[in-house]
Amino acid sequence: MTAEPTTTESLLALWDIDGTLLHPTGGGNEDYEIAVARVFPDAHLDHVNTHGKTDRQNVEEYLRGAGLDIANAPLVLEQLDIISQKYLTDAGRIPALDGVDHALARLAQAGIMNGLLTGNTPARAINKLSGSGMDTSNIAWAESFFGANAPLRSAVTAGARARFPERTIVIIGDTPLDGEAAAAVGFQFIGVATGIFDAETLRHAGARIVINDLVSGIDTLEAALTELRG
């Protein structure tokens, strides 16, 4: 059972998935390359840096690099969703990072709503989190935002701002693009240095605070969110 929305007056913490809630060891480039190859078996694919980008953005970059029309992105995204079913298997699951369940539960008990703001499609997000074995009961799926058709991560934060124009919203993530997307619409950004970027890089991207992980940093995280809630 998932968390139910409370009120638009409560602070909404929007979490990134890969590298923030889950280990940054998922399908990554392999998933995109397999998905493109299923639609275009003869395509020559160049490497794309996928960190912090939306699924749509990454697919379009792969297609452009192969000289293919980005109008084919929906076909590739369909294959990406099919591939994401592997996350529900023992061989394909991505483990949750240490402290995730405790952190989400503790913030929920403090009256903070936990949602998602991810570059993944809804199917990819659900399969990743469900397969990880983490407790998703403290995630408000109805107050989450996904990058299924967003060309940039800032388009996802813009959607969150448009839906909740007066609400205090904080982005929690592990990449500079999380910070840039937050800043684009005036959200605060809290960095978690559990991905491939270090604390200095996240601070340079505008992080209000950076915690090393959700175990050692939970007190700092809760205090910062409580302060922002006012």
DSSP for residue 176: H
- Among 170, 94, 175, 85, residue whose Cα is nearest residue 129: 94
The pLDDT, as a whole number, for residue 213 is 98
Cβ-contact 212, 174 below 8 angstroms: no
- DSSP calls for 82-133: HHGGGGGSTTT--PBPTTHHHHHHHHHHTT-EEEEEESS-HHHHHHHHHHHT
Cβ-contact 149, 12 below 8 angstroms: no
DSSP for residue 70: G
The pLDDT, as a whole number, for residue 51 is 87
CA–CA dist 116, 130 (Å, integer): 14
pTM: 0.92
Query: Can you give the pLDDT of all 230 residues of the chain as single tens digits?
Result: 344 444 446 899 999 999 999 998 756 789 999 999 999 999 999 999 898 899 999 999 999 999 999 999 999 999 999 999 999 999 999 999 999 999 999 999 999 999 999 999 999 999 999 999 999 999 999 999 998 889 999 999 999 999 999 999 999 999 999 999 999 999 999 999 999 999 999 999 999 999 999 999 999 999 999 999 87
Q: Phi and psi of 175, rounded to 5°?
A: -130, 155
